[in-house]
């Protein structure tokens, strides 16, 4: 059993990580870090976690912590990842990996120099619905992919994460927060890389200094075109579609971990197959996969370098917002 310490025990840890650990078979939580010690103790008592800390360094030194899960606000990822690596702990970092690609590079290089495991928590790689889409594309069910799209919207007015509209903490709006999920998922489904991006965005009186909605136009290395639409104003929706020269795959709310996902495979305007898939165990599968990597039993499928590459796409999107032009995504 791999024992984890969680940095940043906020909404995400409560709503997603702890239910995931409850379903995991080889992963448990033995420590948490919060900046306020009273809050740390309260959270630890509520979730029956043995150790509470208000110092990242102290958590990393705890002998009952085998690995660290960084779930703190985005601008803390660099500091917390480097703290874990310096302490000789393997670390799984939430997305987006950093505020910019430079931070991600520092994390990857530090892990490489220390020979420590660094992974990125792109949980939707562990969604069975996304796995199914990848398998069908690989099997040729749509033929050559012509274009793909992914959307991710949720309503964030009065959201508990008050820092979401502060670019110094969040790094950006929904492009950074959920657009990175779309970017990662589409690249993984296609087994292809994004080489350029063009972005437009809108803001409103409640979005602070970040975007409230955005549209990204993507070009993949093998010629597939893609679109990503993100928003913190619309109701929750996460459709994904892959259109090829001989077929189409559609998934309603493909990223949902709470509700069943409907998948359709169509050819010549006819539905060939319908399937309903549950992603309820995605967070458990993610942490158990990292535990297996910690034990040396298997490689973790999303190493830090892939989080860095995804950040290069985000950085290119934000450059495009400023330049109004197509921006090339650097390759690592």
The pLDDT tens digits of the residues spanning 235-293 come to: 999 999 999 999 999 999 999 999 999 999 999 989 999 999 999 999 999 999 999 99
Residue 135 and residue 243 share a domain:
yes
Query: In the prediction, which pLDDT does 261 show?
Result: 97
* Residues 255, 263: Cα–Cα separation, whole Å: 12
Residue 132 and residue 269 share a domain:
yes
Report phi then psi at 205, rounded to 5.
-70, -15
pLDDT tens, 119-159?
Answer: 999 999 999 999 999 999 999 999 999 999 999 999 988 77
Residue 115 and residue 97 share a domain:
yes
Query: In the prediction, which pLDDT does 151 show?
Result: 98
Query: In the prediction, which pLDDT does 156 show?
Result: 85
CATH number at residue 259: 3.30.360.10
CATH number at residue 45: 3.40.50.720
Residue 224 and residue 106 share a domain:
no
Q: Is 80 exceeded by the pLDDT of residue 13? A: yes
- Residue 176 is classified by DSSP as I
pLDDT tens, 280-301?
Answer: 999 999 999 999 999 999 999 9
Q: Which of 131, 220, 227 is nearest to 179 (CA)?
A: 227
Query: In the prediction, which pLDDT does 232 show?
Result: 96
* Residues 164, 175: Cα–Cα separation, whole Å: 11
* Residues 194, 186: Cα–Cα separation, whole Å: 9
DSSP assignment string, 20-76: HHHH-SSEEEEEEE-SSHHHHHHHHHHTT-SEEES-HHHHHH-TT-SEEEE-S-GGG
Residue 173 and residue 64 share a domain:
no
* Residues 199, 208: Cα–Cα separation, whole Å: 19
pLDDT confidence tier of residue 163, bands split at 50, 70 and 90 = confident
Residue 209 and residue 150 share a domain:
yes
* Domain count along the chain: 2
What is the overall mean pLDDT for the chain?
96
pLDDT confidence tier of residue 161, bands split at 50, 70 and 90 = confident
- Share of residues in the chain with pLDDT > 90 (%): 95
Tokens of 211: 């975007």
Give the residue-averaged pLDDT of 69-92: 97
- E-strand ranges in the chain read 2-7, 27-33, 51-53, 67-70, 91-94, 118-121, 145-153, 194-202, 213-220, 225-231, 240-244, 248-252, 261-267, 270-277, 327-328
pLDDT confidence tier of residue 93, bands split at 50, 70 and 90 = very high
The better pLDDT of the pair 158, 182 is held by 182
Residue 31 and residue 7 share a domain:
yes
Q: Is 80 exceeded by the pLDDT of residue 40? A: yes
Model-level pTM? 0.96
- Share of residues in the chain with pLDDT > 70 (%): 100
Residue 133 and residue 103 share a domain:
no
Q: Is 80 exceeded by the pLDDT of residue 91? A: yes
Domain that holds residue 151: 127-279+312-328
Residue 138 and residue 54 share a domain:
no
Residue 166 and residue 193 share a domain:
yes
Residue 99 and residue 166 share a domain:
no
* Residues 86, 98: Cα–Cα separation, whole Å: 18
pLDDT confidence tier of residue 108, bands split at 50, 70 and 90 = very high
Query: In the prediction, which pLDDT does 158 show?
Result: 79
Residue 219 and residue 114 share a domain:
no
Give the residue-averaged pLDDT of 169-175: 96
Query: In the prediction, which pLDDT does 159 show?
Result: 79
Query: In the prediction, which pLDDT does 11 show?
Result: 87
């Amino acid at each position: 059993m791999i024992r984890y310490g969680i940095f940043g025990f906020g909404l995400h840890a409560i709503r997603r990580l702890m239910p995931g650990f409850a379903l995991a078979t080889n992963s448990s939580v033995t420590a948490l870090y919060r900046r306020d010690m009273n809050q740390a103790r309260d959270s630890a008592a509520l979730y029956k976690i043995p150790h509470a800390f208000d110092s990242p360094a102290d958590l990393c030194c705890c002998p009952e912590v085998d690995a660290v899960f960084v779930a703190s606000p985005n601008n803390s990822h660099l500091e917390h990842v480097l703290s874990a690596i310096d302490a000789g702990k393997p670390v799984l970092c939430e997305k987006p990996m950093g505020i910019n690609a430079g931070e991600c590079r520092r994390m990857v290089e530090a892990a490489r120099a220390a020979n420590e495991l660094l992974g990125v928590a792109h949980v939707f790689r562990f969604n069975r619905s996304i796995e199914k889409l990848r398998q069908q594309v690989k099997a040729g069910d749509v033929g050559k992919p012509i274009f793909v799209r992914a959307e991710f919207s949720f309503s964030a007015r009065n959201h508990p994460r008050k820092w979401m509209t502060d670019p110094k903490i969040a790094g950006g709006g929904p492009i950074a927060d959920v657009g990175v999920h779309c970017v990662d998922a589409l690249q993984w489904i296609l087994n292809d890389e994004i080489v350029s991006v063009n972005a437009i965005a809108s803001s409103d009186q409640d979005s602070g200094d970040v975007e409230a909605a955005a549209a990204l136009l993507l070009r993949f290395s093998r010629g597939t075109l893609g679109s990503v639409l993100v928003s913190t104003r619309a109701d929750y929706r996460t459709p994904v579609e892959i259109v090829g020269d001989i077929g189409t795959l559609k998934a309603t709310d493909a990223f949902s971990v709470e509700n069943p996902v409907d998948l359709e495979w169509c050819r010549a305007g006819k539905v060939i197959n319908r399937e309903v898939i549950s992603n309820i165990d995605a967070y458990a599968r993610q942490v158990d996969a990292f535990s297996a990597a910690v034990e040396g039993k298997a490689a973790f499928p999303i190493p830090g370098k892939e989080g860095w590459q995804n950040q290069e796409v985000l950085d290119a999107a934000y450059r495009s917002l400023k330049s109004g032009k197509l921006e090339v995504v650097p390759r690592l």
